[in-house]
Structure 1
Amino acid sequence: MSPPPSIASAEAAEPTPVAAPRIALPLPSTDNASLAIGLVVAATACFSAGDVAAKMLAATLPAVQVTWMRYTVFATMVVVAALMISGPGTLRPKSVKLQLLRGVATSSSALFFILGLKSLDVAQATAIHYMSPIFITALSIPLLGERVGAHRWAAAGLGFAGVLIVMRPFGAAFTLAALLPAAGAMAWALGAVVTRKMASDRPETTLAWSALVGLAILSILVPFAWRMPTAHEAGIAVAMGVCSTAGHGLLVVALRRAAASALAPFSYVQILFAVAMSFAVFGRMPDLWTIAGGAVIAASGVYVAHRERVSARAPRVSSRFADDPHVVAEAVAAPPR
């Protein structure tokens, strides 16, 4: 997940953690902004398609195997692209320890999310995963020394209320499986915060390392849960990996054409795609609680994006990461699920 949470994860840059020196850039043209928005919407459609494929596979295959299959395609495509674009030097990071930590965090996020898909609807899991911005806000204080104002805390509280509406932890409809995408959101948030600390590494370096570290970890685990897939399942797995990777690629292109805070609100379209695709493939519509909670979560995310834009224009920016490409990713996309 797909985040959750979505451009809310500097990751976006997963493919997007764009680490780079901060420079003043000219405001994007209206045409560029419109194209970027279209690319973000297309990316969320790709993420949802990949999540639907993952749920199909999770019905018959172990979650760790499904995650490994996704990462196999993801790592292959990303590393080949990185080498073609930047050469072998792209695989040499400035901080190996941080890259390893980020790889562990993002692959854990993907595994938790797919474990949740075994029992939850795609829309429900997606909505819960979008609580990652709440965790990013909380973690940015002790780990980044960031000052979080009342507006962001209020938005985080609203987003948490939305998650509670979706999960209904105190009702008969609650299932422990709902905690899995929440755990995935926490892991994703940790990866996003780590990404912000790696501003000296190029985005393609971070993306390649996350893919390779995740694949290495999953390759250690998958033999203990392996089941030989059928040709049909293998085909779905390839489609799943291609959709996920394509989504990240589209985000990277989008983030080069418009500010992250301007694109972040459109990442929540993923919840709508998750609903539509889940209904088309599985014939299931989420209940009204999930729809209402998803709307509240999206509203909180849109408000955070608005505040980031306000902060970015102010002489004194409350968040030293406002409109940073890493934030972009964090705010614009879901993890490489």
Structure 2
Amino acid sequence: MSPTRGILLKLGSVALFTVMAALVKAASDNIPSGQAVFFRSLFAMPVIIVWLLLRHDLKTGLKTKNPMGHLWRGLIGVTAMGFTFTGLGMLPLPEVTAIGFAAPLLTVVFAAFLLGERVRAFRLGAVAFGLVGVLIILWPLLSVDNLDRAVMIGVVVVLLSSVFRALAQIQIRRLAGREETSAIVFYFSLTATILSLFTLPFGWVMPTAQEAAMLIGAGLIGGFAQILLTSAYRYAEAGVVAPFDYASMLFAVVLGYVVFAEVPTVYTLVGSGVVIAAGVLIIWRERKLGLKRGQTRKAGLTPQG
């Protein structure tokens, strides 16, 4: 184990995922979200396949005991990605990132209902605290004085993306008890590529050279980011690296300002702080109980607390 290396890998993955989102946002004026999902998934696959080959893990990545489970994970994940990409075209990058922090909070709730996890008062309180933070972020976006139809739709689709991202995590937990991580990564990219093709009749366009470069770049960067994320958990406990997910807010603020001239509101920053504090509290509670998410995935167990 090398916690420092694990943290650096996690920060690298978070930074790359934020760059990927910025590239998708930059192309969103002309490129529909379904087409963006296709490029993101298709061009991530060569990176993932090369990674599996280098690890001598390609055969493992192709083996599966639960093909329908991977199909459901793909359907849920593609839906989440599609909503996220749609939201990126409607809202500033920091706001999309901040609202997306609702996903891990919702995962706790869904795990109780769908996986039968025991969620005690501490974690329920932390989830409620985090959702207050989400409401703070949304307050100026949905206030009567500033109500805008496009913004309202953007808020709804980003919230929906958080719901489906949380459901995707539940499906991954179900798969992790029987499937290798490499198989989960490979089959998600494969199913996402195929499923996104079904959006072809709904307005795909011929991208310009610049748009094509941004979309291909988003796919390649997304693939590298996925590898860094997976590798991070090989070098450090999940409880150590998980809090660094929230560094995405810093990267989003910087990229949003430099690339899109977007300045986050005070509500966004304050609400993000509340949500981040809630997420860290949940992670701290799990660590205090001696529950490691990495062990949970491998053993197919469910955390309590």
- TM-score normalized by the length of structure 1: 0.82
* Partner residue, 1:90: 61
- The correspondence for 1:126, drawn from 93, 97, 120, is 97
* Partner residue, 1:220: 198
* Partner residue, 2:143: 171
Structure 1 contact 82–205 (Cα < 8 Å) conserved: no
Structure 1 residues 1-337: aligned runs within 5 Å? 28=1, 32-83=2-53, 85-168=56-139, 171-172=143-144, 173=146, 175-198=152-175, 199-312=177-290, 322-324=293-295, 326=297
Alpha carbons of 1:187 and 1:213: their partners in 2 closer, same or farther (altered >3 Å)? same
Q: Greater share of helix residues, 1 or 2? A: 2
Q: How many Å separate the matches in 1 of 2:59 and 2:244?
A: 34
2:163 corresponds to which letter in structure 1?
M
> How many residue pairs get matched?
290
Structure 2 contact 9–228 (Cα < 8 Å) conserved: yes
Q: How many Å separate the matches in 1 of 2:240 and 2:59?
A: 33
Q: How many Å separate the matches in 1 of 2:131 and 2:213?
A: 37
Deviation at residue 80 of structure 1 after TM alignment: 4.2
Deviation at residue 322 of structure 1 after TM alignment: 4.5
Alpha carbons of 1:309 and 1:290: their partners in 2 closer, same or farther (altered >3 Å)? same
Q: State the secondary structure of the residue aligned to 2:289.
A: helix
Deviation at residue 129 of structure 1 after TM alignment: 1.1
Q: Deviations over 1:194-229 (max 9, x none)?
A: 111121111010111111111111012124321101
Q: How many Å separate the matches in 2 of 1:170 and 1:234?
A: 34
Structure 1 contact 134–159 (Cα < 8 Å) conserved: yes
Structure 2 contact 44–224 (Cα < 8 Å) conserved: no
1:251 corresponds to which letter in structure 2?
L
- TM-score normalized by the length of structure 2: 0.90
Where relative contact order (Cα < 8 A, 6+ residues apart) is larger, the structure is: 1
Deviation at residue 89 of structure 1 after TM alignment: 4.5
Q: State the secondary structure of the residue aligned to 1:243.
A: helix
Structure 2 contact 233–294 (Cα < 8 Å) conserved: no
Structure 2: stretches of 5+ with no match in the other structure: 299-305
Identity between Structure 1 and Structure 2 (%): 27
Deviation at residue 63 of structure 1 after TM alignment: 1.5
Q: How many Å separate the matches in 1 of 2:239 and 2:167?
A: 20
* Partner residue, 2:301: none
Q: Deviations over 1:70-98 (max 9, x none)?
A: 11112332234335532334212111111
* Partner residue, 1:5: none
Deviation at residue 297 of structure 1 after TM alignment: 1.0
Structure 1 contact 311–322 (Cα < 8 Å) conserved: no
CA root-mean-square deviation: 1.8
Q: How many Å separate the matches in 2 of 1:43 and 1:278?
A: 18
Q: State the secondary structure of the residue aligned to 1:197.
A: helix
* Partner residue, 1:21: none
Q: Deviations over 1:290-337 (max 9, x none)?
A: 11111111111111111110011xxxx6xxx7453649xxxxxxxxxx
Q: State the secondary structure of the residue aligned to 1:229.
A: coil
1:278 corresponds to which letter in structure 2?
G
Q: How many Å separate the matches in 1 of 2:243 and 2:288?
A: 14
Q: How many Å separate the matches in 2 of 1:76 and 1:224?
A: 27
Q: State the secondary structure of the residue aligned to 2:235.
A: coil
Q: How many Å separate the matches in 1 of 2:269 and 2:206?
A: 37
Structure 2 contact 107–169 (Cα < 8 Å) conserved: yes
Q: How many Å separate the matches in 2 of 1:139 and 1:40?
A: 25
